[in-house]
Chains A and B, each alone.
Chain A
Amino acid sequence: MSIFSQLVLNSLIAGAVYALISLGFNLIYGVTKFFNLAHGVMATIAGYSVFYFTKTLGLNLYLAVVLGIIITGLFGYALDKIIYLPLRKRKASSMVLLVASLGTFTAIQAIIAILFTSQFQTLSFNIDTSKIFNIFGGLITQTQLIILISAIAVACGLILFLYKTKFGKAVRAVTDDEEVAKIVGINTNKIISVVFFIGSAIAGLTGILVGFDTGIEPTMGLGLLLKGVIASIVGGIGSIFGGVLGAFILGFVENFGIWKISGEWKDAIAFGLLILFLIFRPTGIIRK
């Protein structure tokens, strides 16, 4: 019984991390309609910002986390202004944007590796991580509980923002049809830039949480991104609910898939799920 509850807990935690990544990814995909492969590296930027602030500058932990999230958001905003906006203005195809984001991802990841070495680091060097909760025989650490709560909070916050505020309405309008949104007087490029800020900040939060839970390394972004993309496609690309649903499905499939085999197969299982969905239901569970 206890191994079963442990697997359920592991699935929920993995699902929460994927959900956070897919929330930001889906939000950006919705307004820009391209696979932003640089999204994962935002998590890396945030993780290393917090690492720098706490370890090198000795800042207060909470201040460092908030600064890390804001800096990552600004990074996303700047990338949109410098790279994606000029491409969109030229009406570049989504493939060109995808390759540009691939370049962005490669360059930023390598720069981080130069600045901080490619060693595995942990963020939780000065906080107490010994607190462990026991739920039906499964164990969950305090950090993992925070991940779970953050995922739920961010998802709810994002849905409230999209459906209850005027700005959120504008974002949804751009997601539905950019041209029409432009015609009715929405400054679409401004909306997209702000969405890049929000999406990247959420990715940043994810990177920081993962950093506290396991640790940070320059290559962590790609794995997170790919899982976020798979979650988004399984759930329904561009749909906020779909992304969260897909993330938890992916978390469960991955963790129960390795019940009897080595944990190293996780990635292969995840991509197997993606390919199954691409073949049989490319629109995802929630059809847009």
Chain B
Amino acid sequence: MEYLVHLSILFAIYAMLVVSLNLVVGYTGLLSVTHAAFYGIGAYTTAILLTQFKLGFFVSIILGMIITAVISLLIGLVLSKFKGDYYALGTLGFNTIIFAILLNWQSVTRGPLGIPGIARPEIKIFNFQFLISNNFAFLILTFAFLILIYYLSYFIINSSFGRVLKAIREDEKAIEVFGYNVLYFKLMIFIVAAVMASIAGSLFASYITFIDPTSFTIHESIFILAIIILGGLANLRGAVLGALFLILLPEILRFVGFPPDIAAQMRQVVYGVILILLMLYRPQGLIGEYKL
């Protein structure tokens, strides 16, 4: 049971990442491979604020969101100059740079040593204090955030804002001719998705209580992207299904009987083969609504 709760929390965190990145990749058609960077910024903000400044968890989430918003605004401005393959390459570059900063800015991030001893969140209602130390309480907190993010995304894509995003994906020139400021829409959705990823990062840091830069590499971004393409581009339910698969796959591999170190590699083989097969036979993913 305890293990099931653990898996559910990881699932919820990944689902947030996947749902948010789907807004950028699936709905707006921008192939971004830098999501793990924002996830990392959120995680590190929470970790540093909680361990060194002893601030509250919810304050750290909000500060993480603000920092991520500023950084993603700057990155988004640079990225707005690129199209197609070059956009993907540029995002790959930003993920590498942010990873290098997390790894090398040792006075702040402790570099490869990582940050241990991150506290679990505390909730203060009147004079009662709840320390969310048991996993079940944390699960409820994480799912509350997931539901919030899911329905916010649902609201965005079904609003007039979301329709403009899809129009940008289908024909950027045409929507520009109609007088829409394409740059504004692309930037906004990029920032919204980045901020959602930072929330996932804050939850991750506080749940695992230890983080180091290796959780936020390009490979992590590639996995998130692979799951979106698997589940289905421009489909929220597909994205969540994909995240479920991502969490269950290592368990399945272990169940089949691979030793743990090989299972980790097998997982990557499966991702790779899935990507190839999807591109060959079903480029819109399992239940996707948009083809790359």
Residues of chain A having any CB pair with chain B under 8 Å: 34-35, 83, 86-87, 92-100, 102-111, 113-114, 118, 222, 226, 229, 233, 262, 264-265, 267-268, 271-272, 274-275, 278-279, 282
Residues of A within 8 A of B93 (CB): 271, 274-275
A100 to B274 Cα, complex, angstroms: 9
8 tightest Cβ-Cβ pairs between the two chains A and B: A107-B272, A103-B275, A106-B272, A110-B268, A268-B100, A271-B93, A100-B279, A103-B276
Count residues of B near A (Cβ-Cβ below 8 Å).
40
Q: Is the CB of A99 within 8 A of B229?
A: yes
Residues of A within 8 A of B97 (CB): 267-268, 271-272
Q: Is the CB of B280 within 8 A of A35?
A: no
A226 to B91 Cα, complex, angstroms: 12
For the complex formed, measure the closest distance between the CB of A118 and the CB atoms of chain B, giving whole angstroms.
8
Q: Is the CB of A99 within 8 A of B78?
A: no
Q: A86's contact among B100, B272, B280, B283, by CB below 8 Å, is which?
A: B280
A35 to B84 Cα, complex, angstroms: 11
For the complex formed, measure the closest distance between the CB of A31 and the CB atoms of chain B, giving whole angstroms.
16
Q: Is the CB of A265 within 8 A of B100?
A: yes
Residues of B within 8 A of A35 (CB): 85, 88-89
Q: Is the CB of A229 within 8 A of B89?
A: yes
Residues of A within 8 A of B84 (CB): 94-95
Q: Is the CB of A99 within 8 A of B275?
A: yes
> Chain B: which residue is nearest A229 at the CB level?
B89
For the complex formed, measure the closest distance between the CB of A225 and the CB atoms of chain B, giving whole angstroms.
10
A271 to B93 Cα, complex, angstroms: 5
Q: Is the CB of A92 within 8 A of B283?
A: yes
A279 to B274 Cα, complex, angstroms: 34
The reply to whether the CB of B271 lies closer than 8 angstroms to some CB of chain A is yes
Q: Is the CB of B103 within 8 A of A264?
A: yes
A167 to B45 Cα, complex, angstroms: 57
Residues of A within 8 A of B78 (CB): 275, 279
A186 to B268 Cα, complex, angstroms: 39
Q: Is the CB of A99 within 8 A of B104?
A: no
The reply to whether the CB of B210 lies closer than 8 angstroms to some CB of chain A is no
Q: Is the CB of A103 within 8 A of B31?
A: no
Known A107-B272, A110-B266, A111-B269: A264·B85 in contact at CB below 8 Å: no
Q: B279's contact among A99, A222, A262, by CB below 8 Å, is which?
A: A99
Known A275-B90, A275-B93: A267·B100 in contact at CB below 8 Å: yes
A113 to B31 Cα, complex, angstroms: 28
Residues of A within 8 A of B100 (CB): 264-265, 267-268
A184 to B97 Cα, complex, angstroms: 46
The reply to whether the CB of B135 lies closer than 8 angstroms to some CB of chain A is no
